[in-house]
Chains A and B, each alone.
Chain A
Amino acid sequence: KAGVTQTPRYLIKTRGQQVTLSCSPISGHRSVSWYQQTPGQGLQFLFEYFSETQRNKGNFPGRFSGRQFSNSRSEMNVSTLELGDSALYLCASSLGSAEETQYFGPGTRLLVL
């Protein structure tokens, strides 16, 4: 099976712009989660989608949003970018139960100037 893929791998944006990141899960996986990784804060949970519905949400401002399509592919959007949004954004997919392994993609590295 193909693994989790994320596009693009690298992005450079300027403050105030918006950005959309894409994640394609492993075939058959219905849960997609997004995480932000920064040197200062480590790995933080953004949100999880399951069968096109947001099932869990982390403690991030409303500028961070996401969606999931019927084929389980997911996108996350960040509006009005801030310098502090520079990070590695990781997507993970799983079958959806808590004990199931989450498989991670390679991430999208976002740099905000």
Chain B
Amino acid sequence: AQSVTQLGSHVSVSEGALVLLRCNYSSSVPPYLFWYVQYPNQGLQLLLKYTTGATLVKGINGFEAEFKKSETSFHLTKPSAHMSDAAEYFCAVTSYSTLTFGKGTMLLVSP
């Protein structure tokens, strides 16, 4: 079985501050890991993914995440938050062809 834990249902940052969204996973097989973003009344959009190879993965909109096998983590970061980053972020793991999602973290960005 696989599972995902996202620490913090809400994270608040100021514009220009570092964004750090935490994700820990459990999987009985080598995982494929994803971060998706959801804006209000929209579907999910892929930010980045880790399958194999380099453990530091760069995605869209300046986001990146690092796969740390020893810590079973895949935290999402962005050096400088922008107002347009305000949205809900989901970490997901798959070892077959189904996605198991975390509960999501709502990112709030204040001016």
Contacts and interface: CB of A to CB of B under 8 A. Distances in A.
Q: What band does the interface of chain B fall in when counting residues whose beta carbon is under 8 Å from A?
A: 20 to 34
A33 B98 contact: yes
B97 interface: yes
Interface string B73-111: 000000000000000001000111111111110000000
Contacts of A42: 101-104
A104 B44 contact: yes
Q: Majority SS of interface residues in chain B?
A: loop
Interface stretch (B12-20, B45-53, B61-69): B45-53
A15 interface: no
Contact of A96 (B49, B51, B95, B97): B97
Given A42-B104, A43-B90, A98 B97 contact: yes
Given A33-B99, A45-B99, A45-B100, A103 B46 contact: yes
A72 B46 CA distance: 22
Interface string A38-70: 000011110010100001101000000000000
A94 interface: yes
Size band of the A side of the interface?
Answer: 20 to 34
A48 B97 contact: yes
Given A99-B32, A99-B51, A56 B97 contact: yes
Interface in A66-113: 90, 92, 94, 96-107
Given A42-B101, A42-B104, A45-B99, A98 B45 contact: no
B28 interface: no
Interface of A: 4, 31, 33, 35, 42-45, 48, 50, 55-56, 58, 90, 92, 94, 96-107
